[in-house]
Structure formats: structure tokens, C-alpha cells
Amino acid sequence: MYYYLILALQGFCIYHLIKNRNEYYWLFLIVFVPVIGCIIYLVTQVYNKKDANKIQENLTSILVPTKKVNDLKKQLEFAGSYQNRLNLADAYIEMKDYENAISHYKEASKDSSQNNYHSLEQLVICYYHTGNFDLSISTAEMIKARIEFTKSEAQFSYALALKNKGLLAEAETELRKVDQRYSNYNKRLVLANFLIEQNKVEEAKTILNELSNEAKYMKPPSKRLHRTTFVEIERLLKTL
């Protein structure tokens, strides 16, 4: 178990290093001096009080990636309730196992006695990620009048499904809803790229410049979290 814990710790550190594009000399320290190297990396590059819970969650997901799903499967087998099925479907979507999530959300949505908004919202996301753009769109149109749909992850998936179906005007209308200051950094980058593709370069530059300026006022933990996005933003600005 100790051996696998070290491997998991190394795996997390290497993943964090690559994702955040940190200096590659850390890789040698992590690989060749496993325990001490990982501890030094975590303390100097990752760890702060706000990040503590996140680190624990990531390490747990590396060590036991299916434990939560297996536990929830047993709960559903013991008591096939609506909520137990939703919990299992949510766990599948956390693992990006969209096909299994779809089957449980569809089953849950058959219960007409329940408020099925959550199931339908999650189906919009799952259908998009599995390439079922028509189903993503048709499901979204069942719930898009709901106030909670606006600016949700499902609404963003709906926008991207519209884009993939070539419904560009509709997609732009939905994508513009993510343009909120000091939030939605990656989604606004997607919007900027979309506008560039539509030859609306000046509008895209305005969004990218706003994002670049916002980065200057972000606290270090948040800046590290969105580092890849802001690197791409600066790269794009240099090309426009």
C-alpha cells in the first residue's frame, strides 16, 4: 500500500506540473527522490490551506477511482430510490463515464412524480460529450426557459452542441451568456475563439484583453488553477 501511495503522489505531482507548465527540473526531483521531492513540490508549488481539501480529493481519486461508484451501486441495489439513482448517475458524470450516466438519468427522468430538471440538465451535458448533439439540443429546449438553466454548465453544452450542428447564430447567442467579468475564464476563451472563427476579431480581442487584465488582480491560488487558460489567452493576443 505504501508503494502505491508513493506512485499516486508522484502521479499527482507530475500531472500538476504538466497541467500548470511548471519548470521541468521538478520532474527529476519528483521521479528520482520520490517522497522528499514530492513533499517539496507540494509545499512550494501546490499546497496552501485553501488547496488542502482539493489535494486530498485528487489523491483519493487516483488511488480508488471507482470506490464511490461501487458504493453507490450497492446503495441503489439495496434501495432503488429515485435519489439513489441520481447519486449514482452524478458519480458517473464526475468520472466522465457519460454513457453509464445517461442510462441512469434517463431512467430517473421517467418518474413523473419528481422534479426531473436535474436529470434533464445532466443529460444535455452527457449527450454533448458523447457526440449526440441532436439529443443535447432537443433536451436543452425542454428546460431552457427555466431560470436556473441560464449560465449553467448545461447551457454551455447546449451552445457547443448548436455550434457543432452548424447553428452558428443560435450558438453565438448562447455563448455570449458566459461573458461575465471575473468568472467563466475558460468558457470566455471558447467564446473568443468562436468569434475569431466568425471573423469578429475585434470583439474577440476585447474579451481576451478583459481576461488578460482580470488575471492581474487574481490571487495566486486562482491564477495557478487557471494558468493553462491564461497562457492560451496571452498566446492568442499575440497572434491577433
What does the domain layout of the chain look like in residue ranges? Answer: 2-63, 67-178, 180-240
Mean pLDDT of the chain: 86
The CA distance from 33 to 18, in Å, is 18
Q: Which of 101, 166, 154, 95 is nearest to 128 (CA)?
A: 154
Domain 67-178, CATH number (from 3.40.50.10890, 1.10.645.10, 1.25.40.10, 3.90.650.10)? 1.25.40.10
The CA distance from 36 to 42, in Å, is 10
Element (H, E) at 130: none
pLDDT tens for 109-155 read: 888 888 899 999 999 999 999 999 999 999 999 999 999 999 899 99
C-alpha cell recorded at residue 169: 447564430
Q: Residues of the chain whose pLDDT is less than 70?
A: 1-5, 22, 24-25, 44, 46-66
Determine if residue 131 is left, alpha or beta; phi over 0 gives left, psi from -120 to 50 gives alpha, anything else beta. Answer: left
Report how far apart, in Å, the C-alpha atoms of 137 and of each of 88, 119, 126 are.
24, 15, 11
pLDDT tens for 86-100 read: 999 999 998 889 999
Return the pLDDT at 94. Answer: 87
